[in-house]
Structure 1
Amino acid sequence: MKNRKTREAIVSAADTLFYERGFEATSFADIAAAVEISRGNFYYHFKTKDEILSAVIAKRIEDRRAMLAKWGEALAPRDRILRFIEILITNQSKIMTFGCPVGTLATELSKLAHPAQPDANQIFSVFRDWLRLQFEELGCGGRSDDLAMHLLMRSQGIATLAAAYKDEAFIRREAADMTGWLQSQLDPSKASPRPSH
């Protein structure tokens, strides 16, 4: 039990550090210091930084699947998609400081030509597949995957610009615009006019 808790603490600390500092800039020593364990104890659980990266990616996938499953139990498909959009507002402070945890890791690993980059992309796929299913449930048929990708693309673009400009009003405005876009896809007759920028 203690070993499992230590391992989980290491992965959790690495997850935070990879997000806030970046994968390449985070060392074994940084993670060990965050967990307050000796290097020897650290190496008992992980021999390489790539092993930790794999565990972090697996944790992020598991955490997001759990979050989406929870929404699925409590909300209708349209409200689930709205909850996805609201992530931008809920996490706006962190997004403005560090960017999107999914996008920043995938981008960094791509720049490094790291072999784990396709694994990091799986986190995007979790959202893409889930969004597609919501649109399918809403009767969007063959457009469902395109709509899912559009929403994913917009949320990533907003997160990138929010981190660049540190503009909370921009995040809120774009989240509202995405909500209007969603309505226009589901019922064009009730779509709100797009705000002028």
Structure 2
Amino acid sequence: MASETRDRIVEAADLLFYQHGFEATSFADIAATVGISRGNFYHHFKSKDDILDGVINRRLASTKQMLDRWEISGSDPAERIRSFIHILIVNGEKIRKYGCPVGTLSSELAKLNHAAKSDAAALFTLFRSWLCRQFEQLGFGDRSDELAMHILGRSQGVATLANAFDDDRFLHHEVELMCTWLDDQIADLARKNNPDRE
């Protein structure tokens, strides 16, 4: 029962940190959302930083699960990279309203110079390593990390502008362009590896 309440607190905090920001969310906000007393709340978490640790760990676990699902369901690395790109559309409504959950938390913690800013950045590292591995499997070798960073950076830019302008059409168009860019990279690599086929 105690672990269930703890999970509910972290789940509520995760949503509130995303929707309102870490700094703007109080203990009282989280307790009210979960429907528990302040006293009961302090039994599970002594500080907001403790809750933040729980939120970051929750996001890391759910991101790992998502990446594992893509590994299983994606028939090849290119398809798996497209799954990453299309998350902008899957989460489009939330992104337009609140921005990227990873980007917004990382930015806020960096501005606050919070001790957990590197922990939040670990979510980006997870995506970066995973994308790099997909590009390596496609045969891009030393360029894999550069390409992973390009697509990660572009997706963050798209999320930021889709949020700023609340523009669904822009978001869809950029996702299309990113997929076209990926196809072009793969086609260029194939031409370089098989020059006689030209």
Question: TM (normalized to structure 2)?
Answer: 0.94
1: CA distance, partners of 2:66 / 2:104: 20
* Counterpart AA for 1:52: I
- String of CA shifts for 1:122-169, please: whole Å, max 9, x gaps: 000000000000001111100000000000000000000011001110
Deviation at 1:41, TM superposition (A): 1.0
Distance in 1 between the 2:57 and 2:123 partners? 9
Q: Indicate the residue corresponding to 2:59 in structure 1.
A: 60
Question: Which residue number corresponds to residue 77 of structure 2?
Answer: 77
Match of 1:172 in 2: 172
Distance 2:116 2:151 in 1: 25
Partner of residue 151, structure 2: 151
Q: Which stretches in structure 2 are left out of the alignment for 5+ residues? A: 191-198
1:83-109 alpha-carbon deviations (Å, 9 max, x no partner): 100000111110010000000000000
Does the Cα contact within 8 Å between 2:135 and 2:147 map onto a contact in 1? yes
Aligned length: 190
Distance 1:139 1:57 in 2: 33
Displacement of 1:40 after TM fit?
A: 1.1
Structure 1 counterpart of 2:164, one-letter code = A
Residue by residue, what CA displacement relative to the aligned partner does 1:55-77 show, whole Å, maximum 9, x if unpaired? 10011011000100011012121
Please say if 1:44 is aligned against 2:51: no
Q: After the TM superposition, which parts of structure 1 deviate over 6 Å for at least 4 consecutive aligned residues? A: none
What aligned pairs does 1:1-197 form with structure 2 within 5 A after superposition? 2-75=1-74, 76-188=76-188
State the Cα RMSD in Å: 1.3
CA, structure 1 residues 54+189, in 2 after alignment: closer, same or farther (shift >3 Å)?
A: closer
SS in 1 for 2:25: coil
Residue 188 of structure 1, CA deviation: 2.7
CA distance in 1, matches of 2:53, 2:3: 16
User: Structure 1: which amino acid aligns with 2:134?
Assistant: Q
Q: Is the partner of 1:187 in helix, strand or coil?
A: helix
Question: Structure 2: which amino acid aligns with 1:128?
Answer: R
User: Which residue of structure 1 lines up, in the alignment, with residue 196 of structure 2?
Assistant: none
Identity across matched positions, percent: 55
Report SS of the residue matched to 1:177: helix
Q: CA deviation at 1:30?
A: 0.3
Structure-2 separation of matches of 1:175 and 1:74: 20
On the 8 A contact 2:140/2:189 being kept in 1, the answer is no
**TM-score (normalizing by structure 1):** 0.94
